[in-house]
Structure 1
Amino acid sequence: MNPASPPTPFSPSFIQETVQEILAAESLPPIVQAGHPVLRQHAAAFDGQISPAELDQLISLMRRVMHEAPGVGLAAPQLGIPLQLAVLEDQFDVDPEAAALRHRTPLGFLSVLNPRYSPVGSQTAAFFEGCLSLNGLQAVVVRPELVLLRFETPGGVSTERQFEGWQARIVQHETDHLQGILYVDRAELRSLSSNAEYAARWAEPGIGKARAALGFLPEAAEPLP
């Protein structure tokens, strides 16, 4: 557990009631923004707080919210639900040069419960990231290039799977959410940019231009690639 993130104080019954209220609403729930306390809590491990039917409905709803945003991942705390559940999917068409440099390949839809990741090897990569809960901002984050994710499926099966490149970045970003960690906690803060400034100045496959101009990650210390 991240020592900076206290465990959620909310009871299983509160979690169930919150999920039921969200599922009963006639519109998609809003994505909560930085400053909401649930984003800074260690979410409760899933152990049957909601029924299998409610879990399936919540996963389907989270996928819709993710697509609507649009994004490539969404964690339950981003809907105000302090539960260790996340959905991931990356089917966006991206520039081939950027995809090659970032090792970005399509990621089929995946829902994970109680995930934990660990680096495999020592290779890292640094790229800009954004977050649906920090609207309008991006910053460079150095992350392991290859990770092993251990998680449970919605059917209750414990499994593990390796992810690399951009898929590994998505996995780490969403799993961090469940431990009360936002990407800015790991970011090179001198790289922090508004979406408008990023689009105007730094929207290239790599980070070299931004690194030189904004003064982060000196070249000698820059991780691969």
Structure 2
Amino acid sequence: MALLPIRRHPDAVLRATARPVALFDATLSQLAADMIETMYHATGRGLAAPQVGLPLRLFVTDVRWREGDPEPKVFVNPELVSASDETVLREEGCLSIPDTPCRVRRPARVVLKWQDLQGAGHEAAFEGIEATCVQHELDHLDGVLCIDRHEEENLA
């Protein structure tokens, strides 16, 4: 595995719409493994392919590794299926915009569908910090950064 350089704002790749992954092969698996290693090394909880310079619809997450055993997840070609009307305001960090926390309001629960590294389809519901994380990473695939969604409202 290898550590990948993380692109920082205002790098143009962070504003591009990522293209779907079409080839599910060893190269994709290696990229995902490298992204997971890079995410852990940078002490992040998520990392999208555009953040390492690749405009692909791929992201990795692990929201609990700091508190327990690593449980990395890989999302290929993810799509938002549904989102709750209930929202939550949380402070989010971004590896591409270091030292710039943003207060972002997002749906409290979401349902996502995606493919795994072999191309098999999955669908699941996410809530809490995991819902926030998958939405943050999904935004990266559409060229949206947390600074675009920042609210000045106090966290309460």
Residue 29 in 1 paired to residue 4 in 2?
Answer: yes
1:60 counterpart SS class: helix
The alignment yields a C-alpha RMSD, in angstroms, of 2.0
Residue 122 in 1 paired to residue 122 in 2?
Answer: no
Residue 84 in 1 paired to residue 57 in 2?
Answer: yes
CA contact (8 A) 2:4 2:35 kept: no
Give me the whole-angstrom Cα distance separating, in 2, the residues matched to 1:29 and 1:55: 14
CA contact (8 A) 2:59 2:74 kept: yes
Residue type of the partner of 1:156?
G
Give the aligned partner of residue 47 of structure 2.
74
Larger radius of gyration: 1
CA contact (8 A) 2:78 2:138 kept: yes
Picking from 3, 10, 19, the partner of 1:44 is 19
CA contact (8 A) 1:29 1:79 kept: yes
Picking from 16, 29, 33, the partner of 1:60 is 33
Q: TM-score, normalised by structure 2?
A: 0.91
Q: Deviations 1:14-66 (Å, cap 9, x if unpaired)? A: xxxxxxxxx8xxx6222100111110010011011xx6111111111001100
Picking from 67, 76, 82, the partner of 1:93 is 67
- Deviation of 1:185 after TM superposition, in Å, equals 1.1
Give me the whole-angstrom Cα distance separating, in 2, the residues matched to 1:108 and 1:172: 18
Q: TM-score, normalised by structure 1?
A: 0.64
Which has the larger share of helix? 1
1:81 counterpart SS class: coil
Quick one: percent identity of the two aligned structures?
A: 37
Q: Deviations 1:91-141 (Å, cap 9, x if unpaired)? A: 2229xxxxxxxxxxx883110111112443311100111100001110110
Residue type of the partner of 1:77?
P
